[in-house]
Amino acid sequence: MMAENIGRSVPEGFRPKPPRASSAPALGEGCRVPAATPATCAGDAHATTPVAYDGVLLLGFGGPEGQDDVIPFLRNVTAGRGIPDERLEEVAHHYRHFGGVSPINDHNRELKAALDAELAARGLDLPVYWGNRNWMPYVADALQDAADAGRTRLLAIATSAYSSYSSCRQYREDLADAVEATGLAGRVEIDKVRQFFDHPGFVAPFVDGIRAAVAELAERGITDLEREVEVLFSTHSIPDSDADRSGPPEREFGPGGAYVAQHLAVAEQIMAQLGIGSAWQLVYQSRSGPPQVPWLEPDINDALQELPGRGRRAVLIVPLGFVSDHMEVLWDLDTEALETADELGLVALRTATPGTHPAYVAGLVDLMEERLRGTAPDERPHVTDLGPWYDVCRPGCCENKRLGFQPALAGIAP
């Protein structure tokens, strides 16, 4: 990488993300969940008491918005691991390739606007405040903005559908970090919607995307779906140790934990709804970390290598683990995986992520309304036998083996 492309070490206006919370907010009398509303304070798995929330926290991962942002962003992502800038620059080429800009922030701006419009159409006075884990605006910024506006009973939605440390518990830790950084403990109450991996609004865009891809294959003369086509449902790989610890321990999901079980269950339901008969498998992407640490496999590129030997002429790549076209989608799928497929002579189509699909946006607002109304669990829509997932995360859920249990909201300790 040429030095002039690296940019300044700290961009103008940059603020580092808030430090980790030293402890969770104190529990009220008889309360098992820090900073919770009365509806979730007791720690029941599902909240069935209506709550008059007055704002929504939209929680994102965050991403750089220019070449100067890339290294500071990666410092945020890897904080506490002691990784030097030289090593970060080696892994920054994905962002450099796209001008140092991750699409994730613009996607969240679009999602926020779509949610605002859907809430207004339903007559719900719930302003949406957006904050990120790793880039400005941070979760603490969103929380402070809400409190400054007098909105102190908040419902959080993370832009991640599945259960694991990075996709659920770490967002709950972000909330604890934000409460401590803003000094708002005792002044705000924050609940979080359930993981929505099997909500129909999340699933419908993938079904639509595969249908559209099948139609495109037919236009190219590929119509024998059972023999010629394979569907690869792709999600972010995570360390085996984190996958095994995903979900509540009492559910005993076994190897891969709730993270793998949820993806498999959703993929199975999608294929059942489509009824196209193609072979399918769950594959992984975006692995990082030392090679001696086991991560979920197979990698999507390895899976692609096997397809010609099974007589496949085409592959549909479905980004099942992603809610929008993140950098991992643009680089690992649209660049690397499609290049691999082309080298193998495969016709490859990558289907759409939910993004701002009307069903997805409506589904997220449906999740808010569940909590506003205190909807009973048996009345909550879900397409797999694993759901509906919990409103309050259970004790010991989604531990990070390296870090242990850190302070977190919207769940029972640890």
Residues 328-360: tens digit of each pLDDT: 999 999 999 999 999 999 999 999 999 999 999
Distance CA 356, CA 88 (A): 32
Residue 209: what residue type? G
Residue 324: what residue type? S
Q: What is the pLDDT of residue 1?
A: 32
DSSP string, 345-383: T-EEEEPPP-TT-HHHHHHHHHHHHHHHHT--GGGS--S
CB-based contact 179:190 (threshold 8 Å): yes
Low-confidence ranges of the chain (pLDDT < 70): 1-9
Query: For residue 147, which phi and psi values (nearest 5 degrees)?
Result: -65, -40
Q: What is the CA radius of gyration of the chain?
A: 21
Q: Which fold has domain 3-196+358-379?
A: Rossmann fold (3.40.50)
Sign of CA dihedral 275, 277, 282, 283: negative
Q: What is the pLDDT of residue 9?
A: 64
Smallest CA-to-CA distance from 313 within 281, 285, 278 is with 278
Is pTM beyond 0.85 here? yes
Q: What is the pLDDT of residue 3?
A: 35
- CATH 3.40.50.1400 positions along the chain are 3-196+358-379, 200-350
The label of the residue with tokens 């400054």 reads 148
The label of the residue with tokens 């979760």 reads 139
Query: pLDDT tens digits, residue range 37-65?
Result: 999 999 999 999 999 999 999 999 999 99
Q: What is the pLDDT of residue 5?
A: 39
Q: Which CATH number fits domain 200-350: 3.40.50.300, 3.90.1150.10, 3.40.50.1100, 3.40.50.1400?
A: 3.40.50.1400
Query: pLDDT tens digits, residue range 311-331?
Result: 999 999 999 999 999 999 999
Question: What's the whole-number average pLDDT of the chain?
Answer: 96
- Which tokens sit at 332? 């690992």
